[in-house]
Amino acid sequence: MNSGKKNNHNRWDDIYRNPEEYQYYNLNDTHPDMSKVADYFKKRGVEKVLDVGCGIGSNMLFLAGLGFSITGIDSSPNAISRLNKIIEKADITGKAVVADFQNIPFASHLFDAIISVQTINHGKEDKVRKAITEIERVLVPGGAIFITVPGRIAKGEVRYSLVKTAKQISERVYVPTKGREVGMPHFIFNKKILKKLFSNFDITDFWRDKRDYYSFLAIKK
């Protein structure tokens, strides 16, 4: 039965119909630290990379342009359709499929590296844990990851739409009450929780990016 409420997948599909209207940052922009990530991957002999939550492909296409074999997944059919049209026209090695990060549709130990930018925080803690389990499963032993997620504070203040004006529904989980992500649960991290949830990885570099999100590079143990 249709309750009249949109799930996360439908909301992201709406967002990617008009990505230029997304108010938090430009969805067409490559993550500002992606060159650093690419260098990190190259030093470790990475070839096959999975982008979890690839959206319209800004990070995925950047890495593909540097010679990596790239696969992307996203829950938005709109985003994947747009991205595959770009891939078809470009001379790059890559593909994108519609999938949920809780059920990554690939064999275990398939990818040398995985990136996920502002994605796995969309859900309650059980969903976050499942996403991390899936990332670990499809990554080769000794494989690399680059992850970004939000913390409670941004540029010295409580995050406005994700925390300050949002409704808290459980510990560390907030639902925005305004903006394009209304109704989407967001898990808000801190360093201690990140280290706990990614305990099967050695975190080799940890920083706050230009948008003041937690960002880190790590190696699967």
| pLDDT tens readout for residues 54-68 | 999 999 999 999 999
Contact 54, 74 (CB under 8 A): yes
Look up tokens 């997948």; give the residue. 9
DSSP β-ladder status, 167-170 and 173-175: antiparallel
Residue 92: CB partners within 8 Å, gap ≥ 6? 61, 64, 65, 70
- Residues 41-49 have a mean pLDDT of 98
Residue 91: CB partners within 8 Å, gap ≥ 6? none
Task: Give DSSP secondary structure letters for 30-93.
Answer: PPTTHHHHHHHHHHTT--EEEEET-TT-HHHHHHHHTT-EEEEEES-HHHHHHHHHHHHHSS--
Q: Residue 152: its pLDDT value, please? A: 83
Question: In this predicted structure, which of 48-62, 91-105, 167-181 has the lowest mean pLDDT?
Answer: 167-181
Stronger pLDDT, 173 or 11, i.e. the higher one: 173
Confidence of residue 4 (pLDDT cuts 50, 70, 90): very low
pTM exceeding the 0.85 threshold for the entire prediction: yes
Q: Residue 52: its pLDDT value, please? A: 98
- Residues 86-114 have a mean pLDDT of 94
CA pair distance 83, 72, nearest whole angstrom? 9
Percent of all residues in the chain with a pLDDT value above 70, rounded to a whole number: 89
Q: Residue 2: its pLDDT value, please? A: 29
Does the structural domain 46-220 have CATH classification 3.40.50.150? yes
Structural domain boundaries of the chain?
A: 46-220
34 has a pLDDT exceeding 70: yes
Mean pLDDT over each residue of the chain, to the nearest integer = 89
CA pair distance 167, 170, nearest whole angstrom? 9
Confidence of residue 26 (pLDDT cuts 50, 70, 90): low
As a residue count, the chain comes to: 221
